[in-house]
A and B are shown apart, each in its own frame.
Chain A
Amino acid sequence: MNRATIAAEIDNTAYDPARPTELVLGGETFTSVTDKICGIVEKPRPPRAWYIAITVTGGLTAVLLAAVFHLITTGIGIWGVNSTVGWGWAIVNFVFWVGIGHAGTLISAILFLLRQKWRTSINRFAEAMTIFAVICAGLFPAIHVGRIWLAYWLFPLPNYQGMWPNFRSPLLWDVFAVGTYATVSVLFWYTGMVPDLAALRDRATTRWRQIVYGVFAIGWRGSHRHWHRFEKAYLILAGLATPLVLSVHSVVSFDFAVSNLPGWHTTIFPPYFVAGAVFSGFAMVGTLLVPARQWFGLKNFVTLHHLDNMNKIVLATGSMVGFAYATEFFIAWYSGNPNETFAFVNRAFGPYAWAYWIMVTCNVVSPQLFWFKRIRRSLPAMWIIYIFVNIGMWFERFVITVTSLSRDFLPSSWAYYRPTIFDVLTFAGSVGLFLTLVLLFVRYLPMVAMAEVKTVMPAASVHGGPAHPVGDYHGDIPHGAAPALGQEVRP
């Protein structure tokens, strides 16, 4: 993005309590929203950059497949894990990806229940990203089991050997928690997309598109009855998904926190992991959305106001994470438990101090820059901070997993963990898989929830009068009537 396009941003972040913030800019109408969003998908050919991008990410995905193939045929020994650090990058990557998969459902479920109307422009994108991140996450524990052809033993399937999984193991709880989360997230994403898929079906000009979008639109005709059921289903799914946002990463935190290992076993872990997950999820949404809105012409929908709000959430959750780090440190000292104190001093000043300080710089320090309005509204600045947060949150999981394991109670078994090239390739490959799925999504599915965005446009408001597009700039609309005192007010 060049300087000119940045200067062309419309700043709709100023807060005027007397009138609602414009969530869709540029004088968009219902028709133009449909035209623009569907237009991206309906282009006969995507831009050349898309082909280049998917070639690169597809190549990385091929690397992932090759690395996994080598892993399955050779064994876990190709990774850097050793008998002291039995959990290495695979678990780090698992937690990293699951965490990223939190923003989507938070935006679609919790922000929906909290009536945050700005969510409508970004929820589809974030939900898609959620599902792709969960796919990447699920891969790692599955290939870590060693004999992957027996991975189905994780499910409580009745079998002739009469064997059952260990229900006391949090790793099994993960299977259920992540499985439930993935299922509900897909359902939520798909349910919300049905009206938009129907719009694509109705506009389709080729037989192929009519059939595919037609099948997935499951007979949506936009009747009142359909809308009524749609809204009801959406609300119920939002209600069901809300506790799931908390539960998944809480259960992931149990993987660590139920153990007796210093640095893992602490009661703040569940809410702290959830805050960290939302933090990393929003950073990843931002990482992808800032360029996407530029390339696909979504600036009227994903406005600076939306990004400003997202940055505030990054700031809030980043501060929660910093608060949790501080609390852990304080209690490690306060407890008077020498092992606990050692674990934390070792993190900050031991052999992995470099990783620890990368984590602190990226997670605690960098989001604090969002206190400044100018930085919250500067596209290059926010994008750099998102990248920092992505890095920092990966390192957080690395620090938690590796530092506690590498030096536990028995100094004679202390060991330093080094990843091998296969650790690196597998992780890079998972990034490739994630981005490939994102590229396919932006090519074939509506990136913005059209039906939902329309509900927050002024034309949809009974008080807004006839379709009255909101202008490009401030000051073109007279301020709404000031609250009248002494006047008859009957809601």
Chain B
Amino acid sequence: MNEQTTATLGAARIDLGDLGPRLFRGGLVVGFAALAAAVALGWRDGDQLRHFSFSWLVSFAFFLSISLGALVFLPIQYVTRSSWSVVVRRLAEVIAMALPFLAILALPVLLNLGRVYDWASPQPRLLTPDLAAHKAPFLDPTFFVVRWVFYFAVWTWLALFYWRTSRRQDRTRDAALTRRLVNRSGAAILIFALTCSLAGMDLLMTLDPAWFSTIFGVYYWAGGFVAFSAVLTLITVGLQRSGRLVGIVTAEHFHDYGKLMFAFTFFWAYLAFSQYMLYWYSNIPEETAWYLVRQQSGWQRLGLLLVVGAFLLPFAGLISRFAKRSRPLLVFWAVWIIVLQWFNLYWVAMPVFSPDHVPLGPVDLSCFLAVGGFWIASVSRLAAADRLVPVGDPRLQDSLSFENA
């Protein structure tokens, strides 16, 4: 173990300490209670838990996208040799390390595919027999599960690599480890891009097996990256409120958080617009069918909410330097973005379950709290295992004295 026993950097506290177990227990309690509530509420609906399953899928896909955002944030920081992010990198490592635990949360979906995926049900109704036969090699339940085992294996392997190497560097202070991480990160991004975009298509695009869009995988990723930036902001502020990381993460770092949220909000909207505009303009029924469902029976209100709430308002709200450096404003927009990005996935997935009305209700809230509770429990458990700052990184000093010049 390292000779350094006090977990402080300067005067600041850099361990989770007693907060870790409290968050862990709290997360588990909320998770199990909400899960019980969600199942009970779902049962009462008398739809063989279909609403529950869809809703679980939405929240699972949402928290998965956040952890995937962290998983690509890390290699991007390394390939670009960024030093600003060193002080907050451990938080991203921990968020990415929630991926193996998310594999457990995937079970309610994977164990009963037919409940949410029309192509896996005994009587598919969304595909013509011809199309069903054509797509059968890919939309095969066994192959689907094999793919998901593969995705989680790859993601866990990547997340472990970053977490372990970084923690080893805490002890050894070995600059060679940073070089090694830099050298491997290019390949990591490539592996990530391939698995994440295919996983996004698998998880959400195949809900409507007749519909297709080449940009969909990137769209899923971009929304997740916005949400990840917001979650990173919230976690950092939360830790500072509890007296941790004070003076380590400064307004300069928050400024960069704000830039990430701003830039990727725009990028997400750009992808959403590209997809919508091209399909609307060409007006081919097999492509517009997906939007047609989402433009009636109340879903159009949610769609407009996304245009205004997930794009225009945060765009305007985060454009100024002042907003990006003000912690209260950043917290407001981070919460806002998280809620709206969850609604984005809700709007993508739920119309397949309920095309005729927006079934927003306590089941959805319960599922969100359940997945979120378990997710927080796993993240806080992992964060408690070590210091919250990678103290062995040779660029730590650069990061601490970082300025947005």
Task: Name A residues whose Cβ lies closer than 8 Å to a Cβ of B.
Answer: 15-18, 113-116, 243, 246, 250, 254, 257-260, 265-271, 312, 315-316, 319, 323-324, 327-328, 331, 334-337, 371, 481-491
Contact = CB atoms under 8 A, between A and B. Distances in A.
B146 interface: no
Contacts of B182: 15
10 contacts: A250-B274, A258-B281, A260-B282, A270-B274, A312-B79, A316-B186, A327-B217, A331-B213, A485-B9, A491-B401
Contacts of B6: 486
Contacts of A482: 173, 394, 397
A490 B10 contact: yes
Interface stretch (B48-56, B63-71, B190-198, B361-369): B190-198
B178 interface: yes
Contacts of A17: 81, 83, 175, 178-179, 393-395
A129 to B, nearest CB: 24
A490 B187 CA distance: 36
A284 B277 CA distance: 32
B366 to A, nearest CB: 34
A246 B271 CA distance: 11
B109 interface: no
A267 B193 contact: no
B274 A18 contact: no
B212 interface: yes
A265 B175 contact: no
A334 B138 contact: yes
A483 B134 contact: no
Contacts of A491: 247, 250, 252, 400-403
Contacts of A250: 270, 274
Which of A116, A269, A336, A337 counts the most B-chain CB atoms under 10 A from its CB? A336
Interface centre among A15, A258, A267 (most CB of B within 10 A): A267
Interface in B58-90: 79-81, 83
A257 B278 contact: yes
Nearest to A256: B278
Interface size grouping (class) on chain B: 35 or more
A483 B81 contact: no
B308 interface: no
A271 B190 contact: no
Nearest to B187: A371
B282 A259 contact: yes
A168 to B, nearest CB: 8
A319 B197 CA distance: 14
B248 to A, nearest CB: 7
Contacts of B304: none
A483 B193 contact: no
Contact of B135 (A269, A312, A334): A334
B252 A331 contact: no
A18 B282 contact: no
A334 B212 contact: yes
Instruction: List 7 A-B pairs, minimum CB-CB distance, nearest first.
Output: A268-B214, A483-B396, A489-B10, A267-B215, A483-B397, A18-B394, A270-B274
B282 A267 contact: no
Nearest to B214: A268
Contact of A265 (B4, B217, B252, B282): B282
Given A267-B279, A312-B186, A327-B217, A246 B393 contact: no
Contact of B215 (A258, A268, A335, A483): A268
Contacts of B178: 15, 17
A488 B397 contact: no
Contacts of B393: 17, 483
Contacts of A259: 282
Contacts of B186: 312, 315-316, 371
B8 interface: yes
A331 B206 CA distance: 12
A15 B81 contact: yes
B275 interface: yes
Nearest to A20: B398
A483 B398 CA distance: 8
B394 A336 contact: no
A266 B252 CA distance: 40
A61 to B, nearest CB: 37
A486 B278 contact: no
B156 to A, nearest CB: 23
A490 B12 CA distance: 10
Given A335-B212, A486-B4, A327 B197 contact: yes
Interface of B: 4, 6, 8-11, 79-81, 83, 130-131, 134-135, 138, 173, 175, 178-179, 182, 186-187, 189-190, 193-194, 197, 212-218, 247-248, 250, 252, 259, 266, 270-271, 274-275, 277-279, 281-282, 284, 286, 391, 393-397, 400-403, 405
Contacts of B271: 271
A481 B397 contact: yes
B11 A488 contact: yes
A481 B395 CA distance: 11
Interface centre among B214, B248, B275, B282 (most CB of A within 10 A): B214
Given A17-B179, A491-B250, 9 more contacts: A15-B178, A116-B80, A258-B282, A271-B274, A334-B212, A483-B397, A484-B397, A485-B4, A489-B248
A490 B214 CA distance: 48
A327 B266 CA distance: 23
Contacts of B81: 15, 17
A242 B81 CA distance: 22
B10 A18 contact: no
A485 B389 CA distance: 11
B177 to A, nearest CB: 9
Given A485-B4, A486-B8, A267 B395 contact: no
B9 A489 contact: yes
A271 B212 contact: no
B16 to A, nearest CB: 18
A260 B175 contact: no
Contacts of B189: 316
B274 A489 contact: no
Please indicate which of the listed interface residues A15, A17, A270, A335 has the most CB atoms of chain B within 10 Å of its own CB: A17
B215 A271 contact: yes
Nearest to B198: A330
B84 to A, nearest CB: 8
Nearest to B401: A491
Contact of A270 (B187, B250, B270, B405): B270
Nearest to B194: A323
Nearest to B279: A267
B174 to A, nearest CB: 10
Contacts of A485: 4, 9, 391
Listed residue (B189, B274, B400) with the most chain A CB atoms within 10 angstroms of its CB: B274
Contacts of A483: 391, 393-397, 400
A423 to B, nearest CB: 30
Given A257-B278, A267-B279, A328 B214 contact: yes
Contacts of B250: 491
Contacts of A265: 278, 282, 284
A257 B79 CA distance: 33
Interface centre among A243, A323, A485 (most CB of B within 10 A): A485
A336 B247 contact: no
A265 B215 CA distance: 12
A336 B131 contact: yes
B274 to A, nearest CB: 4
Contacts of B281: 258
A267 B275 contact: yes
Most buried by A among B178, B179, B215: B215
B4 A490 contact: no
Contacts of B274: 250, 267, 269-271
Contacts of A268: 214-215, 218
Contacts of B279: 267
A488 B83 CA distance: 19
Given A258-B282, A482-B173, A331 B397 contact: no
Contacts of B282: 258-260, 265
B175 A267 contact: no
